[in-house]
Amino acid sequence: MPPERSLPSLKSLWANGESVLRFRVTGVLAFIVILGMTFSLLSPQFLTWQNLSVVASNAAILAIVAVAQAVVLLTRNLDVSVGSIMGLAAYVSADYAARYHGGAEVLAFALSLGLILGSINGLIVAYARVSPLIATLGTMSLYRGLTFIYAHGQEITSSRLPSWMLVGVDFRVFGLPAIVVLSAIVVALVSTFLRRYPLGRSIYAVGSNPPATVFYGLRTERIVLFAYALSGLMCGLAGLLYAARVGTVTVVLATGWEMSSLAAAVIGGVSVAGGSGSVIGAALGALVLAAIDNGLVLLGVAEFWRMFIQGSAIVAAVAVDTLINAQVRKSMKGARLRRAPV
């Protein structure tokens, strides 16, 4: 009689997501060190405190969006509307700030709008069961179109924004830009939630083995909806921070960030197959992209070459991720065969 097949426990599903976590994060850290040493040899200016502060500031907002993308990727889904959510949240909240000069309510407005837009994505993917790529491609155009309609083609200049919004991003905490500290806090909070709380661990479980999560009574649809809502919330925050940092808000703000966030998450070791990776790795992936872009600018490399190098990094990261996943599946299959009764 053939051995009876059984579904893995929820504890083992969580362990699957953790099994290669240290390896992935360590690999990204090692790459950052090598990258820093290489650029410092080619350009002594790279390792100056002033330049490192610029790199960290450039990576800070992308890190938040990469974490937003990572949360969705962990559920074995995808969100290519993150840039459009950022753009709409940034424009509407900046317009509100320009009109009423509010403080806390502007932040609440940006977060609420991001949460709503992310939830719409989650409802379409989880409950209407539309392919995440098709669904978020549609909402990407929808949200960007709404931005154009709301703005009437007008931009919001820094002269219209309240002083607190423009000055706030220049504050420093222990010598670090406040925006970097805020980004680190967001990454730490999301990482703690995913690793320490049942709902967070269930996000890993859904991406690792969806049939098993259903078997154990987890509401897969609700978990996916929550992941998209959380992603939208972070994109709303990122949009407001980006608007404050650049000072001028246009209807095309954050265009292309869907690919940058995906690149950062994948380079940081978040598996495109779901269930494996960490938001800390995604944030480090954003730092890698910011460091590469900054280093190439210092070396005077043309923009099209920078795009080529970024694309090559994405392809290499996906290839490595595929190899790691194949090895993990092979190891798990071997372990199940060894445990199977004869």
* 2 secondary structure, DSSP code: P
The beta strand positions in the chain, using DSSP E, are 172-173, 176-177
Q: Are the C-beta atoms of 312 and 290 separated by less than 8 Å? A: no
pLDDT at 116: 98
58-79 average pLDDT score: 97
Q: Which two tokens stand for residue 10?
A: 């929820």
Tell me the C-alpha distance between 315 and 321, whole Å. 10
pLDDT, tens only, 157-188: 988 888 878 766 667 887 888 899 999 999 99
- Phi, psi of 273, rounded to the nearest 5 degrees: -85, -5
The beta strand positions in 130-173, using DSSP E, are 172-173
Decide if domain 10-333 falls under CATH 1.10.3470.
yes
Q: Is 206 exposed, middle or buried (0-12, 13-18, 19+ CB in 10 A)?
A: buried
| pLDDT of residue 4 exceeding 50 | no
pLDDT at 203: 94
43-72 average pLDDT score: 95
- pTM of the full predicted structure? 0.90
Say whether 209 sits in a helix, a strand or coil.
coil
pLDDT, tens only, 261-320: 999 999 998 988 888 889 999 999 999 999 999 999 999 998 888 788 878 877 887 787
User: Looking at the DSSP assignment, which residues form a beta bridge with residue 36?
Assistant: none
